[in-house]
């Protein structure tokens, strides 16, 4: 190889974004997503300024969910089912993990209702990968169609 030829990897084969473009991109990304670590820290420190929604089905929720999460399957997110929460409530949604688009569907549904929302990236699998414990075999805490949080055993 001649001294004038430069080896280019797949990483640098596209010109990197300018710092200003990177700031805009990553700021936007962080406005839409949060991670398991930040959710855990807020929940453990009783600093949760959001409602954590497990958007999987009731059986999956009962088998293991993030402590403090409320179950509202993504297909049941309606204006009626979130009406008991103030309009400025921030919802954080999660599903099984990267292979699941339930959290994306839930976030879209909430945004269409004019609600503030972030997705917890990684979902249950990310939570477990961080070494955090799940609540298992607990009474179901879900949003009901009567707009109330309730407990029901499965």
Helix (H, G, I), strand (E, B) or coil at 142: strand
Name the DSSP letter for residue 151: E
- Counting other chains too, the contacts that 128-131 makes at CB distance below 8 Å and 24 or more residues apart are 129/36, 130/36, 130/37, 130/40
Task: Based on the residue annotation, tell me whether 100 is a catalytic residue of this protein.
Answer: no
Cα 152 to Cα 102: distance, rounded to the nearest angstrom: 23
Kindly write down the DSSP assignment for every residue of 42-85, as one continuous string.
Answer: HHHTT---SEEEE-S-HHHHHH-B-TT-EE--GGG--HHHHTTS
Tokens of 108: 């879209």
Query: What does the alpha-carbon distance between residue 61 and residue 42 come to, in Å, rounded to a whole number?
Result: 20
Name the catalytic one among 95, 107, 110, 143. 95
Please identify every residue annotated as catalytic.
95
């Amino acid at each position: 190889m001649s001294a004038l030829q430069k080896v280019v990897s797949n990483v640098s084969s596209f010109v990197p974004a300018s710092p200003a473009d990177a700031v805009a991109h990553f700021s936007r990304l962080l406005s839409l997503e949060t991670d398991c670590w930040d959710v855990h820290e807020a929940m453990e420190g009783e600093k949760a300024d959001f409602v954590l929604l497990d958007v999987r089905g009731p059986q999956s929720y009962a088998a293991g969910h993030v402590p403090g999460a409320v179950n509202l399957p993504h297909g049941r997110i309606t204006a009626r089912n979130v009406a008991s929460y103030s309009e400025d409530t921030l919802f954080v949604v999660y599903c099984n993990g990267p292979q699941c688009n339930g959290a994306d569907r839930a976030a879209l549904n909430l945004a269409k209702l004019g609600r503030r929302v972030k997705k917890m990236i990684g979902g249950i699998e990310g939570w477990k990968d961080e070494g955090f414990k799940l609540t298992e075999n607990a009474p179901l805490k879900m949003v009901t169609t009567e707009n109330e949080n309730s407990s029901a055993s499965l």
